[in-house]
Structure 1
Amino acid sequence: MGVKPRVLYFDVLSIVASLAVIFLHCNGIVHWGPATPHWSQALVVEVAFYWAVPIFFMCSGAKTLGYRDRKDTRTFLLSRMKGIFFPFVAWCAIQYVIRASGLFNPLPEGWEPSPAHFLRVFMNGQIDGTYWFFFAMFGVTLSIPVLSRLKDHIDTLWYLVGAYILLSGTITPLCKVLGLPWNESISISVSGGYVMYTVLGYLLASDSRVFASRSRRCLLYGLGIIGLMVRYGFTWMASQRTGVLNNALFEYNYLTAILPSAAVFVWFKQVDWEGLFARLHVRASSVRRVAGLTFGVYLMHYLVLNEVFIGHLSMDMTSYAVRLGLPWVIFTVCLACSYALNRIPFARALVGGWR
């Protein structure tokens, strides 16, 4: 069984998506509502970078749905546990100890540290709000051995994606916005949740038929931009009308997120990154090394943001400069920490890696 070669645009997507996630979390004031200073600008960031999390699932599907060509299922699942889920659990424990000790900030209200309390807040996703992603990824990973059996049945996979997008991604939000009745149980359950993005990533990476022509790609890019405009326009107008945030379109599985995510994925796939980096005198191997550190960046960034910059340093997150400048600082700090941990043999497992 062979080893799958690294794909450069996956590495670039990992870097850019990791930075985009930090931008989203530094612009959390978007959830405070339109009365917040600079809310309209924060909404631009929220809409423009919303594709980041779907991209992680899409890259995961593109890289793992064909795992049977390289390894057996037991090896695949063990490698995912080692590379993703062990670091996730370890950092939950680290963050729990830090918060329970009051090292940076006072003990959270209602916390009475104990093994039982840790288990409760861990399973409820209360240690780090961004770690909901790993629970979703765990469910997707358990689905991969089944989905991998369909990897050569491209038309069937497109049916799963297309039917889900039609029912859950298009009709459901349309009825919600228009106030029309719709039973959300009418869906393609087998591709529900983030399984759809996982399959879509595999299809966009491996099926060259769909977006082979320039005209089709341009159509997708145009639809992606329209998706962004619709989400921003509806959210802005509906929120201004009521004075509170209208989050009707704050769903990753709606068309307003699917179209931009697919457009970003296809665009990054089409770029000649090897040639671009050669002209910029940047080694592709350096890009791959940075991409290998971004999993650690994801694990640490919210801890650094909340405990250090917001909690300890009391940064003003309504500031335009802070919200647009701080993500670069946090990304750099976490990248350096991830690099340092990778250099320590017994700590290397704490930062795992996207596989």
Structure 2
Amino acid sequence: MRKRYYFMDLLFMDLLAIVSSLAVVMMHTSGNATYLGVVVNKFTSDGVWSVLTNILFAFAVPIFFMQSGAKVLNYRDRYDTKSFFTKRISKVVIPFVFWSVLAYFLFGKWQSVPLLKSFLAESIVGPYCFFYNIIAFYLSVPVLSLLTKYGSDRLLKGAICLIVFFKSVLPLLAVAFGYSMPFINALPLGGGYLQYFLAGWYVANHEIAPATKKKLYLLALLMLVLEIGLTLGLSYRTPRLPYYNYSLGYIKNFYDIANFPEFCVVLALFTWMKHSEDKIRAWRFKDHLPLLAGITFGIYLLHPFVIYYLMPVLQKYLGASPIYVRYFAYPLVIYLVSAALTVLLRKIPGAKYVLP
């Protein structure tokens, strides 16, 4: 049964934002074998730390996509399309462009690649790749919002299943069986992780039956075991860690966020968090969640800069420490410094336009 939600007061969305922002930093620090000082030209026991990080915290960006779908596909209930685009441009596009251009000069990209070419190639700031997908989604929202507003539940579920089949199932089958399937990308309006945006809206606006939730949680657990087992097993048989072996391709596909196993995991996590709203509201520190969630976008924008300048210092002083110390220390320091910078920089007049 469909039920309209407005998300400003739902704490599970705040908690998801906080957890996802930490997961992003985990992937970009402890998920990087070079930062951990792990040998990458062969598979070792230390390499498991890096591999597992990229699997267990891969939910970060998909969760953000699901939250975006849940929040904006109902925009017609609140304001017109012009206001929608004005808000998205000011809150997302302008900060994205500003920090990308700043990174282009601070990271030394200007010495070798023209700005426009680097920007269009998504090569200025690696973690900013999600902006290209989210902006493409925003451009599609006026059409998709009509589907969610006037389409039947059966139509919505059919559309989600069709997109999941083309964008999450077929690519994995193509890799597993070694077949080329050019028609995978033939589905109109099916790119850019659209399955997450629509699924986020659907789960947020519908009550999920207890029996269905149990099946979903079981499927997600099985898919997570599959991701871990296949990735580690195949990694052991290759001469390089999968994170540094994109040319082979087949290993990363088993935990790639676009493919079916990870989709199941993320969908279950989002569903579980939504149905934990009452429990979250009973927490003693629940009133702090909106405040912490309010700086997560700033953390996402700033953490690549903090990593660029601070990681060499951390490696210098902690590089000889046991791997489990580096594994937890690196992301914790990067996260806290990024959060502190977000709070401090927002005090600068006019900062709200580039650090919302």
Distance of 2:171 and 2:123 partners within structure 1: 29
**Structure 1 residue 319 displacement after superposition:** 3.0
Residue identity over aligned pairs, in percent, reads 29
- Tell me how far 1:296 sits from its aligned partner: 0.5
* CA deviation profile, 1:323-349 (whole Å, cap 9, x unmatched): 222212211111111112223331122
Q: Which amino acid counterpart does residue 138 of structure 1 have in structure 2?
A: I
Which residue of the other structure, out of 228, 235, 239, is the alignment partner of 1:232? 228
Q: Could you tell me how far apart the structure 2 residues matched to 1:36 and 1:95 are?
A: 34
Summarize the alignment of residues 53-72 of structure 1 with structure 2, pairs less than 5 Å apart.
Answer: 53-72=61-80
Residues 168 and 259 in structure 2, CA contact (< 8 A), matched pair in contact too? yes
Supply the AA of the counterpart residue of 1:13.
Answer: L
Question: Is 1:18 aligned with 2:21?
Answer: yes
Q: Which amino acid aligns with 1:193?
A: G
The one-letter amino acid paired with 1:303 is: F
Q: 1:159 to 1:296 in 2, by over 3 A?
A: same
For structure 2, the 5+ residue unaligned runs are 1-5, 243-250
Structure 1 residue 212: deviation in Å?
2.3
* Aligned-partner Cα distance in 2 for 1:189–1:316: 48
Distance 1:277 1:347, change over 3 A: same
Which residue is 2:247 aligned to? none
1:155 positional shift: 2.1
Distance (Å, rounded) in 1 between the aligned partners of 2:41 and 2:141: 38
With 257-266 and 307-316 compared, the bigger mean Cα shift is at: 307-316
Partner in structure 2 of residue 288 of structure 1:
290
Give per-residue Cα distances to partners, 1:173-195, cap 9 Å, x unaligned: 12321334544437533232222
- Unaligned 5+ segments in structure 1 are 101-107
Distance 1:57 1:4, change over 3 A: closer
Measured against aligned partners, the alpha-carbon deviations of 1:4-41 in whole angstroms (never above 9, x if no partner) come to: 63321111111100100111111122994653561112
Alignment match, 2:146: 149
Q: What is the rounded CA distance, in whole Å, between the counterparts of 1:267 and 1:332 in structure 2?
A: 27
CA distance in structure 1 between the partners assigned to 2:326 and 2:354 by the alignment: 29
Query: Can you list the C-alpha shifts for 1:71-91, whole angstroms capped at 9, x where unaligned?
Result: 110110110010011111111
TM-score by length of 2: 0.86
The one-letter code sitting in structure 2 at the alignment partner of 1:123 is L
- Per-residue deviation, 1:312: 7.9
Are 2:11 and 2:280, in contact at CA under 8 Å, matched by a contact in 1? no
CA 4–217 in structure 1, closer or farther in 2 if over 3 Å, else same: closer
| Alpha carbons 2:166, 2:184 under 8 Å: kept | no
Task: Describe the SS at the equivalent of 1:125.
Answer: coil
The residue that corresponds to 1:242 in the other structure is: 238
How many Å apart are 1:97 and its aligned residue? 2.9
Number of aligned residues = 333
1:134 CA displacement:
0.7
Contact 1:17-1:53 within 8 A present in 2 as well:
yes
Q: CA deviation at 1:150?
A: 0.8
Is 2:26–2:53's contact at 8 Å kept on the other side of the alignment?
A: yes
- Backbone CA RMSD of aligned residues: 2.5
Superposed CA deviations along residues 221-245 of structure 1, whole A, max 9, x for unmatched, are 1211211111121122222222232
Shift in CA distance, 189/36, structure 1 to aligned 2, threshold 3 Å: farther
Q: Cα gap change, 1:162/1:205 in structure 2, threshold over 3 Å: closer, same or farther? A: same
